[in-house]
Amino acid sequence: MKDCEIALWTTDFLPDGHEIIGVVEGSVLVCRNTLREMTAEAKNLVGIKATSWLTEARKQAMSELASEAQRLGACAVIGLRYDFYHVSDTFCEVLAYGTAIAPNARKERLDSPLEASLMENHARIDLVARLERLNTKKD
């Protein structure tokens, strides 16, 4: 495992000198608590900053994603996205996913835009396949 802080970006652009490691994800299963949600909303109305359960779940999912990326030797995640699934009336899954990247070990740049485009398309195809598997799980 590399000793570096994982940068998290929503951009889909692969920076020069980096290579794609693969798709990483972090997910958290949370139990919705209606009373806790109403209390947080009431505090927000009177001006007291209340952190919602969804905000906390996103932070936990992002932390798991960063840990997974670091385990794979990445120093950044691009294309960071969140998704939210109702597993049941009381349980929700919060999913953070993206593409882990690392400095290019070969130290050579991609010679053509076509080669770079092929790498990005491969990463997108992998991401779409993983999302389709997740969507079939919840059905």
Domain 7-138 adopts which CATH fold? Translation Initiation Factor IF3 (3.30.110)
Q: What is the pLDDT of residue 127?
A: 66
pLDDT band at residue 23 under the 50/70/90 scheme: very high
What pLDDT was estimated at residue 5? Answer: 81
Domain boundaries, the chain: 7-138
Top pLDDT among 68 and 17 is at: 68
Q: Output the pLDDT for position 81.
A: 94
Q: Give the integer Cα–Cα distance in Å for 135 and 50.
A: 31
List phi, psi (to 5°) of 109: -85, 155
pLDDT of residue 106: 57
In this prediction, residue 104 carries a pLDDT of: 84
Please give the pLDDT value at position 115: 56
73-123 pLDDT, tens digit per residue, is 999 999 999 998 888 877 888 999 999 999 886 544 545 555 556 666 666
Q: What is the mean pLDDT of residues 15-24?
A: 89
- Burial call 64-81: b when 16+ CB within 10 Å, e when fewer: bbbebbbeeebbbbbbbe
Contacts of 39 (CB under 8 A, 6+ apart): 50
Q: pTM of the full predicted structure? A: 0.62
Over the stretch 24-67, which tens digit does the pLDDT of each residue have? Answer: 999 998 876 655 666 666 666 666 665 677 788 889 999 999 99
